[in-house]
Structures are given as structure tokens and as C-alpha cells.
Amino acid sequence: MLLPASPHDLPFSPDASAVPSVLITFDAPDVSALLKRAGFVVYESDSILGGLCCKASAAANVPAVPTVILARPHTVPDIIDSQIVILAYPEEFSDCATLLDEGASAVVPEPYDATLLLATIRKAWDDAIMRHELALYRDDCHKAAQEQAGTMLQDERIAAAGQIVEGLSRAMLEAVEDAKCAQYVAQLPTFAALHERGGIAAMNAAFRERFCRGAHQGIIYQSAGSEGWMSPVEETFLSGSACKRCEPVTTAHGEELPSLIYTFPIRGPQPDLDLVLEIAVDVSQVEEQQQKLLSVQRQYRELFDESPCCITVQDRDMRVVDANRRFKELFAFTPGARCFELYKHRSEPCTDCPILRTFEDGQSHQAEMQVTTAAGTPCNILIQTAPIHDDTGAVTHVIELSTDITMVRQLQGHLESLGIMLSSMSHGMKGLLMSIDGGAYRLEAGLRTTDMERVASGWQQVREKLDSLRKMSLDILDYAKAPELELGEEELGPFAERQLDAVRHKAKMHGIALQVDTQDATGTFQADMLALTSALTNILDNAVDACLFDRSKSGHTVTLRAWRDERHACFEIEDNGTGLDRETRENMFTLFFSSKGPVGTGIGLFYAHDVICRHQGDVSVESEVGHGTRFSVRLPLSRNDATSAPAVAETDR
């Protein structure tokens, strides 16, 4: 459908940015129907100047309201204040990479998964809203800066008045006997009066209009009468020195004014001819502007702190000079710490750092990376940077927005790993189908020749391969839908002792000693024994490999310990191999991460971690480079104990 050409014709106000909206730039009725069912407002044309969003070529005064654009690689429009999600087939991925470098938000592969598509668009919508609010924040800050500049001009005016008074005082020294300098006082631009010891000798028109009425002459100080209080004029007469105060005063008309009072002594040839010049400056507008500025600062600090993403401001040394509450809650923030120390516990900046790129070219940049919170939890974040300029246009700081996209990446990782499994198992299926063809051929040949032995042999081959094919297909389905664990009950000690059988031959070939300690492994526990065996085998195999790669020692040992406490079955696998650095410990359970080079797949520990988490257990890792590693696995003894166990494994770091 075509969108209206005017904001007044829209079905909702352009300022109503809370309404999720998606602009689809290609013909996709199925996607449109899916988004509408999910509660999005769907538009299917980009002719919307002055409406939902703006083309980059539109006039600068056309208001832009954020939206999400769903496009094919060849239908990406040039629209500002929007987030672009690309729906692409594998053969289009090279074009998608270019579009991602140019600012596109994400790519969803075809054929698309509805859950992934909706999650990606919702995330892009949140980013669009955030960018829009930050743009408004930047504009409002600019307005506040202009107002503050006006306040500074007022302060300069006050300072200039003081300088004028000092110069005027020096001039009056020579003319003090000439009618008490009334002609000079009358020309001052602020409220000014010249006092002699008996009263006011002269005043300017502004002072007379504001502070003189009938018999009353002079400023009424609201503090007058307070114990120990003395007027500025009396103080200057008494001390012979200039005086400066902020005093609340009342005019002759009853108006209350906050004022800045200056008094200066003017020496005469004789003490009884001394004068005091009193100048009052109305600072009510200054105070009003200060209050407005403080209110604006509080509002935007609240917006800064309440933002759902992490926001930091960094200087050229990459030190975090300010951060919002979300960042402070997730990371061990201390003012002056560098971002790579807080995010990744590194001693040097990350490769292709978007902060450094923004300092170099003054442009906004995006990046995606995995970081670790102060609690040791890894998470994926999408980073957006923007420059902060000084009055000369130089980039002095960079603001960084970090959005947690862990859930989206977990979903994508699940789909990717499923694709890898399908790819690897397709070759096995091909072999099974060929074996079934061979068995069918033998079966047909036996039927033609009435050779029952050949018939039985052919049918046996077909039956066996069909069973294998059925199991392989069910494995794929089980992984795709994360099935319920098939819990069984078994003695803890014998189960632990059997785990070393899987790596015994490999360890023996390389002279690695295996030890098992099940002295305290009494009683039974419940688990999916097949899945748990596979998980522990992956950890044991990793320990053996760590010993194989270690050339600094002559003897290596892998030890498996098992015991139980009141509610948990515990396993500990320890080796004295190469050990792990901090970055490896933080990423070792990530899919496809491997420190073994070409011999590692990055799947084994990911699968082990997944199995332990599905049992509602946890796994922790202690390691030191050159000294070895200890994996500690803790599982609930039964379903009843599982209700209080952590749902997600945590890794000590």
C-alpha cells in the first residue's frame, strides 16, 4: 500500500515512535502477514517523505521518525534514521557483507526462520528507537549549550560592570568635590547610587525607578535586621575596602530580586568627604537560566542512565570517562579504566576497534564482538560509535552504544550448528542409501532365482541400513527441538570408572597416565547416561590433548575424581598439560572456538556445556598457563534437586 504524503494523513502521529513499524521494499506477502500477526505496522512503499521516515535527500527540516526496513540486497533504499534488515539467499551473501559494512543492521538467511526473523526485526526496532532518541538528545544538548552560552554572556556583562566601576572610581577621585559626581553616576547602565555618610548623594535613572518611591530612598535588603548583619555600603565605609555580595533585595514596588551587589570606596581629600559607589545587578534571569540548565542536565542524565543498552564516553586514550547505569551494573566500572580492560580483560585494544576508527575519520562505526561481564558471563554485543566534537570541530571523545544481542546469536548459532550437522550427516545418509540399494538388488535377485538365502541376506542388509537411517534422522530431529532428557538411575562410582575407557587407548599410546578416584562416589544419581557420557568424554579428550601439546614436562597425568554431597553428583577432571589463558577460558564453551588449530572443531566442549546445562548443572574451570587445568562438573542427584540448581553453567575466571 502507498503511504500518505503528509504527517497529518498518517494512521498515527509521527512522534509516536513506540509503534513498531516495518517498511518492506520487495514483494513478500508471507513476510507481511507474519509481521502483522506479530503486531507490527507494515508499509510496502518508500514514498513516505514527512511521514514514517525520510530519504537522505529530503529537506533537513522534515522530521524523521525511526523505522525498520526489510529489504533484499538489491532493494535497499537510501533512508536515514532507520535500521535495515536484509533477507538474502546464500548466493547473495557477498553483497550482504558490503551492505553490513555500509551500516545495515543484520542479515537473515533464506529460507527464513520466522522466530529468527521476528527477533532480528524487534532488535533492529529497539536500535532504531535508541538512535532516534539519541539524535533528539544531541539536538536538545545543542539547545542547552546555546542557552548556557547566553548565561555566560550575562556573567561577562556582570564582570564588565565591575571593571567599569573600578575605572569610574579612579576617575571620581579627581572630581569628588564637583557636586559629588552626580553627572557621572546618572550615566551608569545598572542600578547605581553614590552614597555619602548621611545618605544617597546621587543615583542613575534605573536605580531611581526601581528603588525610590515617595519618602523611601535606596535598596531594601531582606537580610536587614538579622543579628550581626551589616549592609555592603556600611561595611565599605567602615573597612575602606570594596565589597561584593549576593543579596536578596526588595524594590520600592515590593518586587523581590536576587541581586549581585558591588560597593567601592572613593577617597576624598578629607574623611568626611569619602564616598561609596553602590551598584546592584539583577541576576534573576541568571538564576532562572541556571535552574533550567540543571533541569535539562537532570533529564538527560536520567535518559542516559535509563537507556536499555550500555553507553560509555571514551577519550583518545580509550579511557571510559563516563558510563550509564546499565554499563556500571554489568561491568566492574572504575573511572579511567580502558574499555578493552573492562570488556575483554585485555592489555591492548581489540583488532579493528570501532572507537579508534571513529577518532581517525570522525565517522560512526559498527562492530560486533563477544565480551565478558563482571560476573564472568559471556555475551554478544553490537557496538555503535559516534564522535563528540569541540568548538573547533575536533573529535575529543567518542560515545559508544553497546546492545546485547546474545539471544539472537544463540538462535543463529543453534541454526548454524544444525546446518553443520545436516551437512556432515548427509554424506552418511548417502552411504546408507547406497547400501539399501545394494540390499534391494540382492533381494530382487534372490526373488528372481528363488534363492531364499540370498533373499534373507538382502533383506537383512536393507533392514539394518533402514534402522541406521531412522536413528540418524531422529538424532537430527532431537537436536533441532532440544528433546527431554531420558533420565536413568545408576551407581555413581561404576559410572565414573567407565568414563576413562573412551580415552584409555589414546592415553596409553602417548604415555599419559590415567587415574580415577571414586572413594567417595557412593549411592546412585539420575541423568541421561548416554548424553552425560558423551559430555564427560569430550572433557577427558580435551585433557588428554592438553597433555599431548605440552612439551615442557616429561610425565603427564589425567585424573578423574567423583563424589557426591547432599544434593549433587560431582565430577572433577584434572590434567597437568599446557593450561589455558584467560581469553581461552572465557570462550572455550562457544561454538566453533578452538585453541587446537586445524585439529580442533570447536564443537566438543560446546556440546558438553550444553548437556550439563540441560541437566541444570554447572561447570567451572580453573587453569594456569604451563601448570594444567581442572574442570569441575556438578549435577543434581535427581529431578527434585534440579529445581534449585543453576539453569546456566558458570565458569570461574
* Contacts with 252 (C-beta within 8 Å, 6 or more apart), sequence order: 210, 211, 212, 213, 216, 220
HEC assignment per residue over 270-303: CHHHCEEEEEEEECHHHHHHHHHHHHHHHHHHHH
pLDDT at 625: 87
263-309 pLDDT per residue, tens: 988 876 666 667 888 888 887 777 777 788 888 888 888 888 888 88
DSSP letter (8 states) at residue 8: G
Radius of gyration of the chain (CA): 39
C-beta separation of 571 from 496 below 8 A: yes
- At residue 632 the predicted structure's pLDDT band, cuts being 50, 70 and 90, is very high
pLDDT at 172: 47
- Average pLDDT (479-494) is 76
- Average pLDDT (467-483) is 60
- Average pLDDT (311-328) is 89
DSSP letter (8 states) at residue 105: -
- At residue 630 the predicted structure's pLDDT band, cuts being 50, 70 and 90, is very high
Q: How many CB atoms lie within 10 A of CB 223?
A: 12
C-beta separation of 187 from 296 below 8 A: no
The whole-chain average pLDDT of the chain stands at: 77
pLDDT at 361: 92
- Average pLDDT (377-386) is 87
147-182 in b/e form (b: 16+ CB < 10 A) is ebeebeeeeeeeeebbeebeebbeebeeebeeebbe
Give the three cell numbers for residue 199: 545618605
pLDDT at 145 over 60: yes
Give the three cell numbers for residue 355: 572507537
pLDDT at 558 over 90: yes
Which of 170-184, 331-345, 588-602 has the lowest average pLDDT? 170-184
Backbone angles phi, psi at 64, to 5 degrees: -105, 130
pLDDT at 80 over 60: no
Q: How far apart are alpha carbons 283 and 160 in whole angstroms?
A: 14
Backbone angles phi, psi at 629, to 5 degrees: -140, 145
99-141 pLDDT per residue, tens: 888 778 888 888 888 888 888 888 888 888 888 888 788 888 8
pLDDT at 16 over 60: no
pLDDT at 162: 45
Q: How far apart are alpha carbons 69 and 87 in whole angstroms?
A: 10
pLDDT at 155: 56
Q: pTM for this one?
A: 0.35
pLDDT at 368: 85
- Cα angle 542-546-549, degrees, rounded to a multiple of 5: 135
Q: Considering the chain, what percentage of its residues have pLDDT values greater than 70?
A: 75
Helix, strand, coil fractions of the chain, as percent rounded to 5: 45, 25, 30
Q: How far apart are alpha carbons 615 and 536 in whole angstroms?
A: 13
Q: How far apart are alpha carbons 54 and 64 in whole angstroms?
A: 6
Q: Which residues, in sequence order, are bridge partners of residue 397?
A: 388
Q: Which residues, in sequence order, are bridge partners of residue 378?
A: 372
522-535 pLDDT per residue, tens: 899 999 888 888 88
pLDDT at 635: 93
- Cα angle 567-571-577, degrees, rounded to a multiple of 5: 155
- At residue 62 the predicted structure's pLDDT band, cuts being 50, 70 and 90, is very low
Which has more confidence, 326 or 271?
Answer: 326
Q: How far apart are alpha carbons 569 and 141 in whole angstroms?
A: 58
3-state SS class at 469: helix
pLDDT at 148: 78
